[in-house]
A and B are shown apart, each in its own frame.
Chain A
Amino acid sequence: MRIFHKTSFDFIKYRKIAYAISIILLLSGMVSLAFRGLNYGIDFRGGSEVVIRFEKNVDVGSVRAALKDAGVSGTLKQYGIDRSFLLSTVFSGQTNELKSLVSNAFKNRFPENSNEIVRIDSVGPSIASDLKWSALKALLGALAAILLYVGVRYELKFAAAGVVAIFHDVLTVLGMFSILGGLFAFMPLEIDQSVIAAFLTVAGYSITDTVVVYDRIRERIRGKKPSEYEAIFNESMNQTLSRTIITGGTTLLSVLILFIFAGPAIRGFAFAVFSGILIGTYSSIFVAAPLVYDWLRMTKSSVKLRGGSAA
């Protein structure tokens, strides 16, 4: 089977449209970040989350009322598994008290319907601030390491454009988290540790995708004149297009399966990786390579090659 056989799209010609799309995506994300902000999970915000599972079906309103009568403050939401609810409240370090308060609240209200506290997550403020810092360090460290590696393997212009593409991908996903956060009951899209892991995965995937295109350009650009660059860029992207789409497809497939089957704890992560790979695939074709092309065109310099293909 072949899906993209011998394509000859003129990617370079339409790059301005792609730039516009990217800028709109990024700007709307940034605007939402500025006004709506992000939904932080308890990892970074601090607080307690309790997942309660009932034996039989019960509606969220009556559970909420039972908790309110018992004097438990906090918000209650349906949790992604059957007959389960997620209670988020402030951190106290007194899990025992919280637990007995919750069970007492239900014992009287739903004597026929037994419940079980299946998960407790509780993060104190000092830990939350630590986690925030290490997440930031991991993200910045990853970007620096990738810039360094691609800078050594390729020319600086390639590396810089690659990192711009990473920023583009991660910031767009971040923007989506801000825009869509809290809109869907089955995926709250909170920023927690697993989402940071997703961002790093997206960063890694984004540069991988970009590198494959770069590699082909490098292979073909050797000894060519700047006037031929446009054709070379286009042909290289067309030649790698099949691979780019297929790999993106298999990865998307496996992430989609995670999203469907792996349960609510993984859903935010799966969503971030899924959208990140979609955008990463797009950006490796429409952002990373065209940026290098424009940069080369503006500086009117030819590529100084470093490294080289294994051939």
Chain B
Amino acid sequence: MKNKPFNLFLIVLVTAVSLWSLWPTWRDYSLSQQMDRFASAEDSLKFSISHRDEIENARRKSLKLGLDLKGGMHLVMEVDQVDLFEQKAWNKDARFHAIMAKVRQKAATSDAGVIDLLAAEFRKENIRLSRYFYDIRNSDREITGKLQKESEDALTRAREIIRNRIDQYGVAEPVITTQGTRRIIIELAGVSDENRVRNLLKGTAKLEFKLLREPEVLLRVLDKLNTSLASQGSVASPATVPDTSGRAVPAAGTLLTAPPRTAAAARPLNDVLTVLQNGNVYVSEESREFVSRLFQRDDIKALVPQDSELLLAAKPDQLPDGRNYYSVFLVRKTAELTGGVITEAKASFSAEGAQPEVLMEMNSEGTAKWARITGANIGKRVAIVLDGAVYSAPVVQSKIPNGNSVINGIGSVDEAKDLEIVLKAGALPAPVRIMEERTVGPSLGADYIRAGMLSMMWGFIAVSVFMLLYYRTAGIAADMALVLNILVVLSVLAGFSASLSLPGIAGIVLTMGMAVDANVLINERIREELAEGKSIVSAVAAGYDKAFSSILDSHVTTLASAYLLYTFGIGPIQGFAVTLMIGTAASLFTAVVVTKEIFTFMISKNILTDKSFG
């Protein structure tokens, strides 16, 4: 503090570095202003081409705005480990499923590891894990170790696949990281179609080719279901079925032009299913949710032949009455072929019309299998199943020797493109679910920016005017320090490519109020010293010396609590903590070193006298 030339040099250096670090932000802003001023789009395009390097450079180095300010999605996705472990198990029986259901229930609300929950649950039932997992000779500890490894692999793979999907979809600068043992955090800025992104991310993309059972078998199964449901009475007259999304699904039967209601008692399924002459079975759009839940029920599954399962179509067909209906399929449980063999996928249009479809090519192993399957099943139907929904079920016309296949029955071109993306990126090892989402639309982001700017401006005006009023000339020094403080905070953010969010701006505004604390302490001390009759020079010196202890303590405690916020908080809170930390640390320099030099200068020029402290 005694070394004056060094202090001056430091102040000039800090100011210069701050300005230099914020220069690209200013350039970026003024360039975009310039572009907006052009009358025509061509002029603005021409300008952006001729200044491309400069624009890109400025943009890359400018202060980044957080997702909340520029609009974007923050997603936390969770790999379904219960499903993953179910896939790894063998010899699965009812008892196993019961235990896994319990584990799933506990995992949903607890943050304990799924493996621990699983091991604990099996221990409680007194069953060794080796009965279902890996080798019968393995100890529980070995098995949990293997499952642990399995889940880590699954998380890494899921992250890579998700990254692939996002890269192919095309979002600028996505941030994708893993957290803990089962979470993936995805940050996407400026997404125009959030719905598409969600669909793209959450689908497992498990592609399967499954043989259809004969129509007679399907009808027999439905008969069985009818008998069983009728004996249970209430089940198939679904009143409102509560849905997970918290809304009520309309009573399934009521909206349907159903077969005569008189038969309903004996054949309850007729309320929701329509059987056509050709043996095709349909479920109306309104009842799809209900039927799909019905098919998931264990007692219903038990009525279906062992090696078969009931599936619904992914997309509706329009029947002559103008309503949308979903087909019901009975397929073999074991897939003939799975998506792992797909090497190439391409969205395109079908030959006979504008129907979007996706063409696929297979590797040599897949090609050989596909040829054998198609050759052996000419005249039968093969269902193409993606994530448990049937996209199409074409009749095999002839043996397909070249490993080509096609998915049709796709709703839109966008959807075909998304299918192409997910098929190319490969299937996720286990289902991935969105566990947390924070999406801010661009218009609200613009509002936040405006609100943030207003608060910063008014915060600065209020605090600096107050300092001038209260301390007069001495307030000038504090205000200059305040300006430098804000500059340093912004430049550190820009320099380290950290982004500025709304909580971050709140941190800056709060820092403004607290940063002057050091100057208040110093100025009050100087006033006291002056009151004791000291000269201005010795009063300033004593003021700084005596106030320093309190200033240090108060800064350290503020820094400590901001640091803890940073470590334990996530996302938005970290933004606040970061600006508070930088601001507090910077104020130790700006409010102590800088103001002292300003005071010294002002005293030497006779601007600051013993009357100047108000």
A: which residues have CB within 8 A of B? 1-3, 51, 53, 70-74, 81, 89-90, 92-101, 116-127, 129-131, 133-135, 137-138, 141-142, 145-146, 149-150, 153, 193-194, 196-197, 200-201, 203-205, 207-209, 211-212, 215-216, 219, 239-240, 242-243, 246-247, 249-255, 257-258, 260-263, 265-266, 269-270, 273, 308-311
Contact = CB atoms under 8 A, between A and B. Distances in A.
B524 interface: yes
Contacts of A99: 194-195
Nearest to A81: B447
Contacts of A135: 568-569
Given A133-B111, A247-B514, A208 B435 contact: no
B502 A265 contact: yes
Contacts of A89: 245-246
A280 to B, nearest CB: 12
A117 B437 CA distance: 14
Interface residues of B, number: 90
30 contacts: A1-B470, A1-B472, A2-B527, A73-B248, A74-B246, A81-B447, A93-B434, A96-B195, A119-B440, A119-B444, A124-B78, A124-B433, A124-B435, A126-B109, A127-B76, A134-B570, A137-B568, A138-B565, A146-B560, A194-B573, A201-B565, A204-B560, A250-B517, A251-B514, A255-B509, A255-B510, A258-B459, A262-B455, A265-B448, A310-B552
Interface string B522-533: 001001100000
A273 B510 CA distance: 9
B469 interface: yes
Contacts of A94: 244-245
Interface core residue of A70, A81, A142, A146 (most chain B CB under 10 Å): A142
Interface in B519-558: 520-521, 524, 527-528, 542, 545-546, 548-550, 552-554, 556-558
B549 A266 contact: no
A254 B549 contact: no
B564 A142 contact: yes
A108 to B, nearest CB: 15
Contacts of A72: 246-247
Interface string B307-319: 0000000000000
A66 B407 CA distance: 39
Nearest to B435: A124
Interface core residue of A73, A120, A252, A266 (most chain B CB under 10 Å): A266
B285 to A, nearest CB: 14
Contacts of A205: 514, 558
Nearest to A269: B506
Given A125-B108, A142-B560, A254-B463, 14 more contacts: A71-B248, A73-B247, A90-B245, A94-B244, A197-B569, A243-B520, A250-B516, A250-B520, A254-B509, A254-B514, A255-B510, A308-B549, A310-B548, A310-B549
B111 A129 contact: yes
Q: Is the interface of A mostly helix, strand, loop or mixed?
A: helix
B509 A129 contact: no
Contacts of B573: 193-194, 196-197
Interface core residue of B245, B452, B471, B516 (most chain A CB under 10 Å): B245
A122 B437 contact: yes
Contacts of A208: 517, 553-554, 557-558
Contacts of B108: 125-126
B17 to A, nearest CB: 26
A253 B437 contact: no
B186 interface: no
A47 B108 CA distance: 13
Contact of B549 (A146, A215, A255, A257): A215
Contacts of A121: 437-439
Closest 10 CB pairs of A and B: A254-B513, A138-B568, A204-B561, A251-B513, A208-B554, A124-B435, A118-B444, A92-B245, A261-B455, A263-B451
B96 to A, nearest CB: 23
A273 B506 CA distance: 11
Contacts of A258: 455, 459, 506, 509-510
B441 interface: yes
A33 to B, nearest CB: 23
B65 to A, nearest CB: 15
B562 interface: yes
Contact of B245 (A2, A97, A141): A97
Contacts of B110: 126, 129
Q: Is the interface of B mostly helix, strand, loop or mixed?
A: helix
B466 A204 contact: no
Interface in B188-241: 194-195, 198-199
A230 B195 CA distance: 68
B198 A71 contact: no
Contacts of A212: 521, 550, 553-554
A215 B553 CA distance: 9
Contact of B436 (A118, A127, A134, A239): A127
B261 to A, nearest CB: 24
B154 interface: no
B555 to A, nearest CB: 8
A216 to B, nearest CB: 8
A212 to B, nearest CB: 5
Nearest to B542: A311
B356 interface: no
B447 A146 contact: no
Given A119-B439, A250-B463, A262-B451, A215 B550 contact: yes
Interface string B168-195: 0000000000000000000000000011
Contact of A254 (B194, B459, B470, B570): B459
A260 B506 CA distance: 12
Contacts of B512: 254
B489 interface: no
B388 to A, nearest CB: 16
A275 B135 CA distance: 62
Contact of A118 (B443, B466, B510): B443
B30 interface: no
Given A121-B437, A126-B109, A310-B548, A207 B557 contact: yes
A252 B459 CA distance: 10
Contacts of B76: 124, 127
Contacts of B569: 134-135, 138, 193, 196-197
B390 interface: no
